């Protein structure tokens, strides 16, 4: 006989419905793996890791003495234009001043190293008569030095210089030629030379650059000479100007030739700024790194008015040397 409880048979009351069984199975399926993972993870954290290797023993220390060679480092010049009119050919002077190129008024200038450009000069007719070859390590050749001055310099009239220059052009077709440079006293020598060359050969002389010389005490005077050359370069169709000799009076002696040390140094700084910033001026060279104290170039009247960059021993920079080195 089947008993009933509140309308439900006892068989039904003792057996849970099927959907309850399904929920129980689902709960077991989800919860058991979670519990098992938690237990395993906790166990893993509680067990200290097994050392992978025995700690290495400290290596025995040794002390070694290393000897390094003494190396002299030469800083590159600030301006690639900067050179030296090289009165005494000491390579250490080039390093002291940080110059990039040199010339020494000769056809075979001394070569200190491959990074220093040594430019030959055909100074006068006598040099050219002795040899038709030049040395150095440059693609450039400098022309006659102050041909307007006699007897100490090239001492050539324009008429005398014209055929010699024509020979030089023929001898060195693949070299670049810097025009003969008169002193600042006779600038028109250059114009007469060019006009005479055209009259003789029907074409202008080959000038790849014009050279200038200037000595004085003021920026204004230097600028006037440079402006004259810039006008000639434009007229001749020449792109480059080289200031191959220039100097101010000694700036170590207080007042010199009526100009104070301060005034002259200030004007020198102005000129150096002009030279560095003017794209037409591609080279400049101070005269000179060293000058013999007994040289008449140092004496103008009773005052010393040359401008060496170093003392005669080469060990100490003058005020000019300190200034020039910084450019």
Quick one: pLDDT at residue 216?
Answer: 86
Range of the domain at 252: 82-325
Residue 95 forms part of a structural domain: yes
Total number of domains in the chain = 1
Question: Measured between alpha carbons, how far is 67 from 45 in angstroms, rounded to an integer?
Answer: 55
Helix, strand, coil shares of the chain as percentages rounded to 5?
A: 35, 15, 50
CA distances from 33 to 28, 40, 112, 193, 240 (A): 9, 10, 86, 108, 90
Model confidence pLDDT, tens digit, residues 254-294: 555 667 778 888 999 999 999 999 999 999 999 989 888 77
Task: Determine the Cα–Cα distance for residues 32 and 217; give it in Å rounded to an integer.
Answer: 103
Residue 233 structure tokens: 């370069």
Question: Residue 254: what pLDDT?
Answer: 53
Q: What distance in Å separates the CA atoms of residue 138 and residue 178, rounded to the nearest whole number?
A: 12
Q: Does residue 218 lie within any of the structural domains?
A: yes
Q: Alpha carbon 144 to chain centroid distance?
A: 29
Residue 6 lies in a domain: no
| In a domain? residue 24 | no
Q: Is residue 8 part of a domain?
A: no
Q: Distance (Å, rounded) from C-alpha 44 to C-alpha 48?
A: 8
Domain containing 287 — which CATH number? 3.20.20.80
Q: What is the pLDDT of residue 9?
A: 37
Instruction: Dump pLDDT digits (tens) for 178-234.
Output: 999 999 999 999 999 999 999 999 999 999 999 999 998 889 999 999 999 999 999
Q: Please say if the pLDDT value at position 56 is more than 70.
A: no
In a domain, 71, yes or no: no
Query: So what's the pLDDT on residue 202?
Result: 99
Asked if the structure places residue 3 within a domain, the reply is no
122 belongs to a structural domain: yes
């Amino acid at each position: 006989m089947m008993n009933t409880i509140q309308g439900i048979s006892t068989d039904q009351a003792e057996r849970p419905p099927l959907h309850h069984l399904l929920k129980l199975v689902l709960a077991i399926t989800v919860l058991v793996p979670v519990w098992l993972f938690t237990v395993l993870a906790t166990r893993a954290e509680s067990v200290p890791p097994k050392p992978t290797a025995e700690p290495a023993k400290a290596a025995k220390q040794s002390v070694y003495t290393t000897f390094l060679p003494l190396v002299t480092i030469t800083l590159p010049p600030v301006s690639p234009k900067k050179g030296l009119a090289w009165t005494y050919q000491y390579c250490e002077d080039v390093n002291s001043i940080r110059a990039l190129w040199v010339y020494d008024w000769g056809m075979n200038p001394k070569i200190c190293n491959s990074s220093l450009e040594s430019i030959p000069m055909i100074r006068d007719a006598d040099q050219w008569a002795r040899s038709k070859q030049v040395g150095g390590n440059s693609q450039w050749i400098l022309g006659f030095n102050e041909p307007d001055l006699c007897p100490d310099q090239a001492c050539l009239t324009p008429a005398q210089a014209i055929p010699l220059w024509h020979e030089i052009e023929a001898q060195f077709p693949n070299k670049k030629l810097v025009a003969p440079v008169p002193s600042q006293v006779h600038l028109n020598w250059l114009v007469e030379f060019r006009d005479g060359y055209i009259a003789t050969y029907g074409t202008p002389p080959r000038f790849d650059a014009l050279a200038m010389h200037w000595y004085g005490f003021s920026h204004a005077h230097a600028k006037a000479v440079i402006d004259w050359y810039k006008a000639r370069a434009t007229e001749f169709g020449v792109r480059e100007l080289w200031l191959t000799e220039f100097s101010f009076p000694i700036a170590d002696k207080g007042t010199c030739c009526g100009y104070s040390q301060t005034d002259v140094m200030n004007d020198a700084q102005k000129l150096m700024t002009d030279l560095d910033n003017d794209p037409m001026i591609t080279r400049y060279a101070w005269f000179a790194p060293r000058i013999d104290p007994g040289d008449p170039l140092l004496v103008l009247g009773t005052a010393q008015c040359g401008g060496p960059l170093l003392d005669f021993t080469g060990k100490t920079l003058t005020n000019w040397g300190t200034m020039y080195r910084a450019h």
